[in-house]
Amino acid sequence: MQAQQHILLVEDDDVDVMTVRRALKDVGAAHPLDQVSDGEDALAFLRDPSKSKPGLILLDLNMPRMNGVEFLAEVKQDPLLKRIPVVILTTSQEESDRLASFNLNVSGYMLKPVDYPQFVRTMQVIRDYWSTSEGAPQ
């Protein structure tokens, strides 16, 4: 992921949003972060021609209106959006959620650690991987 590309965080919990922002800052991620609260808002954001497409989507699964799996199903069917890497960042340890996510070609499935230092390490792994990974052509 190139430094100027945005990260789209799809997360409805304000504390988790603050934790992600803080952890990205702590790991020195230079990527601007856009945030929406659910899958419907995320689709509207991604389909808005005035907004740039993110280089990475961090997606919670448990959200109102349209949950993460429903959002992922929509994104992966859209020819203009399906190549954007999506990493699930969730508290769900349900095997059915993990299976559904990987069946929809998610790029990664990360559990949100409760411990902040471990959360920072998780964000470091995400940042390191996407900073060095060659993205799919758009």
Split at pLDDT 50, 70, 90, the class of 106 is very high
Task: Using DSSP, state whether 102 is helix, strand or coil.
Answer: helix
Are the beta carbons of 116 and 21 closer than 8 angstroms?
Answer: no
Cβ–Cβ < 8 Å for 124, 130 = no
pLDDT tens-digit profile of 5-64? 889 999 999 999 999 999 999 998 878 899 999 999 999 999 999 998 999 999 999 998
Is 7-132 a domain of CATH 3.30.365.10?
no
Q: What is the model's pLDDT at position 30?
A: 77
Place of tokens 């993110």: 54
